[in-house]
Amino acid sequence: MDKMAIINLKLEGSDADKLMLLCEKDVRFVAAKTLTQAAQVAQTEIKKHLHETFVLRKPNFEKSIKIRPATKQTMQSSVYTMAGFAALQQTGGKQVAQSGRLAVPQYDSLHDVKAGRKSNPAGSFLMQTGSGAHIIAMRKDSGLRILYYLKSLVHMPKRLNMIEIAEKTAVTHVPRLFSDNLSQIFNFDVSVIIDRQEGDYYIGRTEYDSPEVDGEVLIPINSKNSKADAPELEAGNFYNATITSADEFDLYGDIIR
């Protein structure tokens, strides 16, 4: 059964304002990257939970915990497993034998149960107890050792917390991951042509923007990367700048020296 935990992302406040300044392609890339990274963290935490909760004799169950990365089109990442019994382990409930009866092992420690047994051990036999239950047992010393109870219906306790872990991961990791990924978009270099000086700023635009149509790039005259004796920027010339922030219409940056 395909079980998946879907992480929904909602932005409010200053981060949402910044997003409106970016083109749709960049917005969707940041969100998809964040969702995929969160799914990867959830996958790691779920595998850790498996080792703490289950006795994993073979790596099949752990390997079945997979992720479906988010894309700019789907905007959704998933953590899922195709292991048939995982859904019942996640919810708990009834397991009914499809044919015959279910063999429920009797054990003091789960490590004592033999994995992958195809037949009863030598010397074992089927018997009915005084209460009417059917068991597979074998003689041990002067008594009997019960190996399996045979039941047509078994009540399984909830043991797998895959969905809960994915939800917790989304709450605790998505805001930080998104903020980190968003900051990487603003710390990029562009070529800026200077149009004029106005107040405390040189006013320019990127090589892809048109004057009086697109937004402008504002570069402080006393940029943190400028030296006191640096020559003034000349209108009409291109300079390399690092974009550091933005407001509703314009970008802000520093000249790269």
pLDDT digit string (tens) for 224-257?
554 443 458 888 899 988 887 776 677 888 888 7
Structure tokens of 250? 């314009």
Mean pLDDT to the nearest integer, 59-71: 87
CA atoms within 13 A of residue 210's CA, in its CB half-sphere: 2
Are 101 and 153 in contact, with CB atoms under 8 Å apart? no
Tens-digit pLDDT profile for residues 157-176: 888 899 899 999 989 999 88
Can you name the CATH fold of 188-255? OB fold (Dihydrolipoamide Acetyltransferase, E2P) (2.40.50)
- The answer to whether the beta carbons of residues 212 and 227 sit under 8 Å apart is no
pLDDT above 60: residue 65:
yes
> So what's the pLDDT on residue 109?
58
Per-domain boundaries in the chain: 3-90+158-186, 93-156, 188-255
Q: Is 105 left (phi over 0), alpha (psi -120 to 50) or beta?
A: beta
Residue with tokens 């998809």: 32
Dump pLDDT digits (tens) for 94-124. 888 887 888 877 766 555 555 555 566 778 8
pLDDT above 80: residue 125: yes
Is the pLDDT score of 15 beyond 80? no
